[in-house]
Amino acid sequence: MGRRFVFPAQVRPYGQILAIQAENNPVTSPLLPTYARADISFERGEGPWLFGRDGERYLDFGAGIAVNALGHAHPHLVKALTDQAAKLWHTSNLFQIPEGERLAQRLVENTFADVAFFSNSGAEANEAAIKMARKYHAAKGQPERFRIITFEGAFHGRTLATIAAGGQAKYLEGFGPKVEGFDQVPFGDIEALKAAIGPETAALMIEPIQGEGGVRPVPGAFMRTLRELADDHGLLLILDEIQTGIGRTGKLFAYEWTGVTPDIMSVAKGIGGGFPMGVCLATAEAAQGMTLGTHGTTFGGNPLAMAVGNAVLDVILAPGFLERVERMGLLLRQRLAELMDRHPGVISEVRGQGLLMGLRTHVPNTEFIAAARRNKLILIGAGDNVTRLLPPLIITEGDVAEAMERLDATCAAIEAGQPAVAQQGAAK
Ligand SMILES: Cc1ncc(COP(=O)(O)O)c(C=O)c1O
């Protein structure tokens, strides 16, 4: 439809790339141009370090948006993946997958849950959670209860149902009618929440800390109110721990800080340490509608993913690991507060928990992130003009000190008015 194919004047570095020029949408790569990519690529990683094709070494405090929980090329993960790769990659869910049974068992033993469904991504873990909540009520003879209440600023993924759950206009725009059944209320507004609960409400869905939304923690008291309201009205409580889970806050899951347990929980990102996978965990009660044939995925829980997931848990559940994450989180928070004191003209607020920290800045976060990158520090954007620090969970005190030096240099450059080339988008 109106596309013109234009040969580039010069051959680009990584293969011959056709410059495709669609009307009003010029692109210079065969990749669909949906991402604002920084002009940098990496060829290898080691622990918290990334080695760029530009010959530079970068300290990775983004971890692939909270994914590389154990850093890059962790020997235990590399071994688990390569050992499994030499044996068996995929069989489909038509057969038993003992590695998956084992991972599910370990997740169940270490959480509120009784059962697990493996997916390939976070959005698919949320899709499973949403379907499960609806099916729960249908199985109990109330199929009209299918609506789910979510919170402003939420991010639950990019499928049609999860953009409806997230409710953000920028992600819904142009994709046809919003999937029916999601009601959104202001973040933290108990009265609005109570008013939104009706006879069709099936569940409440929330991230314990809004990640993409700008590192906004849900207060423990609000979480307890959610649980009470859910119990009073026969609703299911769904926690999206895709970003907060697998040790990111210093507990295996962030809900453990609140004393509140969910009925359903979605997990992804860190659980694969970089291998694409996710999981929807639930109590047997909440999962009662998900009977034979009600849900499925070809790739979910395949032997390769399960080998890596088990290897990630080997490390994260080892005695002392999570305590160390908590200590590193406290150290990072303290150092960031000091950074703000030194650079009040650049940083306006420090937020977050554990190793999910956010800096709100006076300058646009795109500018801050670009300036940090020039100081060889990788950071990630979020909503509300926040920059996220999401280092691998294996960072040391030395890594925190390195990051602080680079952050000081970043702030100093901004204070000196050095121009910053904004290249990275604010959020995904
Ligand atoms: C809280 C939360 N939910 C869901 C998702 C979607 O996960 P995925 O991108 O793997 O589909 C994300 C990803 O950033 C997330 O942070």
Q: What is the pLDDT of residue 26?
A: 54
Q: What is the pLDDT of residue 422?
A: 39
CB neighbours (10 Å) of residue 267?
32
CA atoms within 13 A on the CB side of 151: 28
Distance from the Cα of residue 393 to its chain's centroid: 14
CB 146 within 8 A of CB 137: yes
Residue 12 has pLDDT above 70, yes or no: no
Q: Read off the pLDDT of each residue in 281-286 and give the average, rounded to a whole number.
A: 99
Percent above pLDDT 90 for the chain = 91
Which CATH architecture describes the domain 35-66+320-415? Answer: Alpha-Beta Complex (3.90)
Residue 405 has pLDDT above 70, yes or no: yes
Residue 342 to residue 408: CA distance in whole angstroms:
8
The answer to whether residue 155 is catalytic is: yes
Long-range contacts of 11-20 (CB under 8 A, 24+ apart): none
- CB-ligand 1 contact for 239 (6 Å cutoff): no
- CB-ligand 1 contact for 241 (6 Å cutoff): no
The answer to whether residue 240 is catalytic is: yes
For the segment 220-256, what is each residue's pLDDT rounded down to a tens digit?
999 999 999 999 999 999 999 999 999 999 999 999 9
Token couple for 168: 């953000």
The answer to whether residue 253 is catalytic is: no
| pTM score of the predicted model | 0.93
Residue 100 has pLDDT above 80, yes or no: yes
Residue 243 CA, closest ligand 1 atom number: 16
Cα 212 to ligand 1 centroid, rounded to whole Å: 8
| Mean pLDDT, the chain, whole residue set | 93
Q: Would you place residue 419 in the very low, low, confident or very high pLDDT band (cuts 50, 70, 90)?
A: low
Q: Which of 151, 269, 368, 384 is catalytic?
A: 269
Using CA positions, which residue lies closest to atom 3 of ligand 1? 156
Q: Read off the pLDDT of each residue in 383-392 and give the average, rounded to a whole number.
A: 98
Percent above pLDDT 70 for the chain = 91
Q: What is the pLDDT of residue 67?
A: 98
More confident residue, 7 or 389: 389
Residue 158 CA, closest ligand 1 atom number: 11
- CB-ligand 1 contact for 383 (6 Å cutoff): no
Q: What is the pLDDT of residue 28?
A: 74
Residue 136 to residue 201: CA distance in whole angstroms:
12
CA angle 109, 317, 323 (to 5 degrees): 120
User: Considering the domain 75-316 in this protein, what is its CATH number?
Assistant: 3.40.640.10
Closest CA to 402 of 20, 45, 59: 59
Domain spans in the chain, listed from the N-terminal domain onward: 1-28, 35-66+320-415, 75-316
In testing the pocket of ligand 1, which one of 218, 269, 275 has its CB within 8 Å of the most ligand atoms?
269
Q: Which of 146, 151, 187, 240 is catalytic?
A: 240
Cα 272 to ligand 1 centroid, rounded to whole Å: 13
- Output the 3-class SS for the chain: CCEEEECCCCCCCCCCCCEEEECCEEECCCCCCCCCCCCCCEEEEEECEEEECCCCEEEECCHHHHCCCCCECCHHHHHHHHHHHHHCCCCCCCCCCHHHHHHHHHHHHCCCCCEEEEECCHHHHHHHHHHHHHHHHHHCCCCCCCEEEEECCCCCCCCHHHHHHHCCHHHHCCCCCCCCCEEEECCCCHHHHHHHCCCCEEEEEECCEECCCCCEECCHHHHHHHHHHHHHHCCEEEEECCCCCCCCCCCCCHHHHCCCCCCEEEECHHHHECECCEEEEECCCCCCCCCCCCCCCCCCCCHHHHHHHHHHHHHHCCCCHHHHHHHHHHHHHHHHHHHHHHCCCCEEEEEEECCEEEEEECCCHHHHHHHHHHCCEECEEECCCEEEECCCCCCCHHHHHHHHHHHHHHHHHHHCCCCCCCCCCCCC
For the segment 58-78, what is each residue's pLDDT rounded down to a tens digit?
999 999 999 999 999 999 999
Q: Read off the pLDDT of each residue in 407-411 and give the average, rounded to a whole number.
A: 98
Q: Would you place residue 425 in the very low, low, confident or very high pLDDT band (cuts 50, 70, 90)?
A: very low
Q: Read off the pLDDT of each residue in 332-354 and give the average, rounded to a whole number.
A: 98
Residue 5 has pLDDT above 80, yes or no: no
Q: Read off the pLDDT of each residue in 96-124 and give the average, rounded to a whole number.
A: 98
For the segment 127-182, what is each residue's pLDDT rounded down to a tens digit?
999 999 999 999 999 999 999 999 999 999 999 999 999 999 999 999 999 999 99
Q: What is the pLDDT of residue 27?
A: 56
For the segment 300-340, what is each residue's pLDDT rounded down to a tens digit?
999 999 999 999 999 999 999 999 999 999 999 999 999 99
